[in-house]
Amino acid sequence: MAWRVALAAAVLLCAAAGAALGAKRARIPDDLRDVIDEEEDDEWRHYGAPSSRGPGRGDGPPPDLSRMDPAALQAELLRGQTGPSFGFVKLRPGTARSQEDVVGIATRWSNVLRTGSVDAKFVAVNFGTLMFTMERGRDILELKEFILSQAEAYEFKIGDQIFRRPGDPPLDQVLDKPQKKKQVLDKPRKKKRHKSRDEL
């Protein structure tokens, strides 16, 4: 008898919960002619449209390149790169790396960039150099920011342009320092000639 009362109470409780949940549902009419959609913003309206040539540049005439300083000219030329690109990344010297380490860095960087929709592929060239290829050169600035933010990277080269973190000396100077120290240590030392009492 007690189980019948418990069963009846459970059925009534489920029915009450179902009615309460059903009462919270909002009814959406099929006729939506009088509904005004004002949720679109400018970003939504321009989604999928080709990007402009740069921030604040629009489709106006190109800047006067003859009046630009060399750094601004290089930045402008880099920004205008749209076709396939390739370049090299020199890894930070002074760290011993195995072949698996270098291949792991290349794979990790390729995967991370792919999640940010930058289609760059890295390949290990040797223990201190990676080569990258890109189909869309317009992503080169994002790639540059990414590479220079990585602890393993020292410098980044596209064509004749070399990029490194501010304050870092050129790679040639960094590699010359240990060699100069080694040369100083390897120089034969002049033996001091001790004078004996007999020679006085």
**115 found inside a domain:** yes
**17 found inside a domain:** no
CA distance 176 to 172: 6
**47 found inside a domain:** no
**22 found inside a domain:** no
Look at the block and give the residue holding tokens 């007999």. 198
**Spacing of C-alpha 142 from chain mean position:** 6
CATH code: domain of residue 138: 3.30.70.260
CA distance 165 to 41: 37
The domain tally of the chain equals 1
**172 found inside a domain:** no
Nearest Cα to Cα of residue 156 among 170, 173, 138? 170
User: What residue numbers bound the domain in which 91 lies?
Assistant: 70-163
| pLDDT, tens digit only, all 200 positions of the chain | 777 877 788 877 777 666 656 556 777 788 878 877 777 777 777 776 766 544 444 555 666 767 777 777 766 666 666 678 888 988 888 888 888 999 999 999 999 888 888 888 999 888 888 998 888 877 888 888 888 888 888 888 887 788 888 777 777 777 776 555 555 555 555 555 554 444 43
